[in-house]
Amino acid sequence: MQSRVGSHGTLEEGKESKDPLTKVANQSRPLQLRLLQCLLLFLGVAIVFSFFSMYMMRYLGGQNVIASVPEARILACVQEPTTLENWIKPPSSSFHRMNDSELFWRASFVPQIKTYPFKRVPKIAFMFLTRGALPMAPLWEKFLNGNEGLYSIYVHSLPLYQPDFPPSSIFYGKQIPSQMVEWGRMSMCDAERRLLANALLDISNEYFVLLSEACIPLHNFSIVYRYISRSRFSFMESFDEDSPFGRGRYNANMSPEVNITEWRKGSQWFEINRKLAVDIVQDNIYRPKFEQFCRPACYVDEHYFPTMLSIQFPHLLANRTLTWVDWSRGGAHPATFGKADITEKFFKRILDGKTCIYNNQPSTLCFLFARKFAPSTLEVLLEHSSEFFGF
Ligand SMILES: *[C@@H]1O[C@H](CO)[C@@H](O)[C@H](O)[C@H]1NC(C)=O
Ligand SMILES: *[C@@H]1O[C@H](CO)[C@@H](O)[C@H](O)[C@H]1NC(C)=O
Ligand SMILES: *[C@@H]1O[C@H](CO)[C@@H](O)[C@H](O)[C@H]1NC(C)=O
Ligand SMILES: *[C@@H]1O[C@H](CO)[C@@H](O)[C@H](O)[C@H]1NC(C)=O
C-alpha cells in the first residue's frame, strides 16, 4: 500500500534515472495501479451497458428472443384458443424483424377459399416511397380524415432517416424496415416490393397505391375510393415505345423470359390490386433478368413491373397511370411546381378537358393524384383544398 501511495514520487524520480532497468522497475508500480483503474472502469462501463441493453430490449417492444421466450411460455398457459381474429388482425406495428426473404415469403400467402368467412372491408394501402421527410403529410391527413378503416399507410424512406411524426399523426409508426435505394436501379424496385410485401400482411388491403413525397391527391377520398374499387383494371401504365428510350433500352440477353415485342415502358407510380401485388412480391423469374440487364441508361423502375405484368396479366391492366405529371417542359425530369404555380386555373388545366378509358367506357375523370409539388406549396394547398379538390 505504502509503495503505491508513494508511486508518484517514484515516477518523478524514475524519469530522472539514467539506468533503463531501474526506470522500468520503477514504472511498473504505477502501471499496476493504472491497470487496476482501467479494470474498474471497464467493469463500471460493462455494468452500465448491460443495464442499458436490458432497458433497450424492453423499449424495442419485447420482440427480442431472449425477452419473449419466457413471456410466450407464460402466455401459452393462459391464452385462449386460436380464433379467426388472430389470423386476420393486421400487425399492430409496421415494425418487424423479418428480412426480405422471410417477409416476401410470408407476404405471398394467398387463401385458396375465395369467400371470406368474415366481413372484409377492402382497404387502399397508400405506400409512400420517400427519401426522407413527407412534407405533404398534412394534406394527406386532411384527405384521409374520417375514412378510418378504408385505408392504411406504409412509408419506406432511406434507412438513416428518423421520422418525427407526433403520436397523434396518422403517419406515426408507419415506417417499414427500409434499405438503401439508388434511383433508377433495382434497389428502388426492391423498395417498392418491400412496401407491397408489408402492405400484404394486412389481409384487408386490396388496392396498393405507390406515391412519392411530392405527390398530392386531386379529389376527395370518396371519389378516389370509388374510382379505384370499381375499376375492373389495375392502373399500371404500360406501353410499347419504338424509340431509344423505349425498345432502345431492351437487352437481348433478357430473352427468352422477355423478348423485344414484350418489352414495355410505364410510369413508376401505380395502383394495383392484391393479386398483382402478390405476383410482384413472389417474382423470381423476371427480377434476375432485369437486375442484370436493365441498368442505367435503362431505368428499371420504368420497365420491370410494366413488362412483367403485361406478359403475365395483360387483361388485368388499364395500361395507364392515375398520377398526373407534367413532362411538357422537356428534359430528363418532370416539372416541379412551386407556390407561385398554385392557382385555381392550374388545377382546372390538370383536371378538365381530359379523356381516357375507364372500364371500357370514355371518361373525363382520368387522374386521382399528381406530382411533383414542392414543400412550399403545402400551405396554399391546405388553405384551398376544398375549392381545388373537394376535401
Ligand atoms: C434471411 O435470413 C435467412 C435466415 O437467416 C437467410 O437464410 C436468408 O438468406 C436471409 N435473406 C436475406 C435476403 O438476407
Ligand atoms: C367529394 O367530392 C364530390 C365532388 O366534388 C362531392 O359531390 C362529394 O360530396 C364529396 N364527398 C365528400 C365526402 O366530401
Ligand atoms: C417473342 O415472343 C413471341 C410471342 O411469345 C414469339 O412469337 C416470338 O417468336 C418471340 N421472339 C423471339 C425473338 O424469341
Ligand atoms: C392493356 O394492354 C394489353 C397488351 O399489353 C392488352 O391486352 C389489354 O387489353 C390492355 N388493357 C386495356 C384495358 O385495354
State the pTM of this model: 0.82
Look at residues 236, 216, 239 and name the one whose alpha carbon lies nearest to residue 368: 216
102 lines ligand 1 (CB under 6 A): yes
Ligand nearest to the CA of 258: 3
The rounded Å distance from CA 280 to ligand 4 centre is 18
State pLDDT tens for residues 218-231. Answer: 999 999 999 999 99
Cα of first residue to Cα of last residue in the chain, in angstroms, is: 81
Q: What is the pLDDT of residues 334-390, one digit of tens each?
A: 999 999 999 999 999 988 888 999 999 999 999 999 999 999 999 999 999 999 999
Q: Does residue 381 fall inside a structural domain?
A: no
Q: Which residues does ligand 3 sit against, CB inside 6 Å?
A: 255, 259, 261
Supply the residue whose CA is at minimum distance from atom 5 of ligand 1: 99
Residue finishing a domain among 299, 317, 335: 317
Q: Which amino acid does the sequence have at 275?
A: K
Give the bridge partners for 128, in sequence order: 155, 211
Pocket of ligand 4, beta carbon within 6 A: 233, 238, 310, 314-315, 317-319
pLDDT higher for 331 or 146?
Answer: 146
Q: Would you say residue 332 lies in a domain?
A: no
Parent domain of 18: 12-77
**210 touches 127 (CB < 8 A):** yes
Least confident of 83-87, 105-109, 121-125, 199-203: 83-87
253-294 pLDDT, tens digit per residue, is: 999 999 999 999 999 999 999 999 999 999 999 999 999 999
Residue 27: all three cell numbers together: 514504472
Q: What angle do CA 248, 183, 337 make, to 5 degrees?
A: 95
Going by C-beta distance under 8 Å and a sequence separation of 6 or more, which residues neighbour residue 39? none
Higher pLDDT residue, 59 or 8? Answer: 59
Note whether 34 and 120 are same-domain residues: no
Taking the CA of 179 as reference, the closest ligand is 1
Q: Rounded CA gap, 245 and 384, in Å?
A: 38
Confidence of residue 4 (pLDDT cuts 50, 70, 90): very low
% of the chain with per-residue pLDDT over 70: 80
CATH number at residue 111: 3.90.550
Domain boundary among 317, 343, 360: 317
SS3 179: coil
Residue finishing a domain among 317, 340, 367: 317
Please name which of 261, 269, 360, 262 lies closest in space to residue 308, comparing C-alpha atoms: 262
Question: Is the pLDDT assigned to residue 6 strictly greater than 50?
Answer: no
CA-wise closest residue to 151 among 135, 128, 183, 177: 128
Nearest CA, atom 1, ligand 2: 220
Q: Which of 282, 264, 263, 262 is nearest to 274 (CA)?
A: 282
Q: Is the CB of 100 under 6 A from ligand 1?
A: yes
